[in-house]
Amino acid sequence: MSRRPIVWISVTLAIVCVIGVAVCMLPDEPVRASATEGSAAAISVTTATPQRRTLHRTLVIPGDFLPHDEATLYAKVAGYVKAIRCDIGDSVSSGQTLVELDVPELRAEIAPIEADVKQSDALLARARAEEAMRRTMFERLRGVRQKSPDLASQESLDDAAGKYEVAKADVQLALAKVEVSQANGVKIRTLVDDSILSAPISGVVTERFVDVGDLVQVATSSQKNVTPAVRISRLDLLRLRVHVPEIDVPFIAVASAVSAKIRELPGATLRATVSRIAYEIDRDTRNMIAEIDVPNVDGRLHPGMYAEVTVELEAHENALVVPAEALVAEKKKLFVFVADGNRAKKVELKTGLDDGIVVEVLNGLRGDERVILGGKGRVADGSTIAIVEGSK
């Protein structure tokens, strides 16, 4: 065997032995000290003190503007459009004539009915005259019979009394005929008057459905697809209608504060209160209707406009709040870490309203604690902390 490999092996073993002896001779105190320092290092944190303020819970939902009042005019009698006194965009007053219908058949019935009324009046006058004569004859015969029984028989007296009763009945019959004739006259005149369509409310004509010469049919419950004449909307006061989800219904009431932003009017914010609520939840949508009356004297708003409506549901005054970023969620519970001297203390909270920025604290804090914000993710219950200067 060559001596060169043996020499190399001997040199290698000697070097390994020297390194091992050197390592064993190094002191171990610095290592232990470094480990101790790491376990006791304080975690830098920032803190904030809970505040007192009025906390609001709001609901943001879409809303639609509607006319406060709206009327669609239908004809009560059939006829041809004779004249139209309005057009789209016209302002009209209650009682103003809008459409006139030509109803010659109805007008033709007026003369015979008026003649029938005159005839009934004449028959009534005749019946009353006959009644007066029969009464006179009966009373005269009765007086004779009482004074001189031999001059007037009982049979003639009874006959006179019967004719008097018949005359009185004829008067009642004639009177009934007069009433029927007059009622027919009132009816036909009412139908003729119904050929004039007048505005039931003051507002603006927002739709016109007919032209001169069009045949307009009578609107009845049995007829479908009957064309109306015009539509009138009151626009100086609008309804802003919203649909409140079922979960928020218990918190909304008449006079609840409302603000609305309108896409077509950038920068404008309407402030009002809830005017009315439906008090009934729709079974299909599970929503309840609420309406806000919005004055519109200047005409800036129009029915059909969309609004983003914010409704105030709750307002908790003098509520104790902490920043939402301070909360730690664990197993469906909420906690915060507070500074207890130079230690972090984990505190369970019972919370209330949450506006996304701050959270109401119902139980768990007194209000004078220093709640850990920055660094809360690196601390645990009992961790050593160092509060950074400038923390609240």
Is 10 among the domain residues?
A: no
Let me know whether 340 and 376 are in one domain. Answer: yes
Name the amino acid, one letter, at 270. L
Is 1 among the domain residues?
A: no
Let me know whether 131 and 187 are in one domain. Answer: yes
Alpha-carbon gap, residue 277 to 292, rounded angstroms: 9
pLDDT tens track for 55-66: 999 999 999 999
Let me know whether 212 and 322 are in one domain. Answer: no
Q: Average pLDDT in the 333-358 region?
A: 94
Let me know whether 345 and 225 are in one domain. Answer: no
Let me know whether 210 and 311 are in one domain. Answer: no
Is 16 among the domain residues?
A: no
* pLDDT beyond 70 at 39: no
Q: Which CATH number covers residue 364?
A: 2.40.420.20
> Given 260, 287, 315, which residue is the final one in a domain?
315
Burial of 380 (0-12, 13-18, 19+ CB in 10 A): exposed
Let me know whether 347 and 331 are in one domain. Answer: yes
Let me know whether 89 and 208 are in one domain. Answer: yes
What pLDDT was estimated at residue 144? 84
Angle at the Cα of 346 from the Cα atoms of 342 and 350, rounded to 5 degrees:
140
Is 22 among the domain residues?
A: no
Let me know whether 324 and 359 are in one domain. Answer: yes
Q: Which CATH number covers residue 281?
A: 2.40.30.170
Let me know whether 205 and 266 are in one domain. Answer: no
Residue 48: which domain range? Answer: 44-55+317-387
> Given 161, 193, 225, which residue is the final one in a domain?
193
How many domains would you assign to the chain?
Answer: 4
Q: What is the pTM of this model?
A: 0.69
Is 207 among the domain residues?
A: yes
Name the amino acid, one letter, at 232. I
Distances (CA, A) of 306 to 4, 276, 343: 98, 19, 54
Is 284 among the domain residues?
A: yes
Average pLDDT score, the chain: 88
Let me know whether 159 and 121 are in one domain. Answer: yes
What pLDDT was estimated at residue 2? 44
What pLDDT was estimated at residue 11? 41
Let me know whether 88 and 223 are in one domain. Answer: yes
Alpha-carbon gap, residue 351 to 142, rounded angstroms: 104
Q: Computed over its alpha carbons, how large is the radius of gyration of the chain?
A: 49
> Given 162, 193, 224, which residue is the final one in a domain?
193
Let me know whether 134 and 189 are in one domain. Answer: yes
Task: Give 49-62 as a DSSP string.
Answer: --EEEEEEEEEEEE
Is 134 among the domain residues?
A: yes
Q: Average pLDDT in the 158-162 region?
A: 89
What pLDDT was estimated at residue 26? 42
Q: Which of 3, 30, 68 is nearest to 275 (CA)?
A: 68
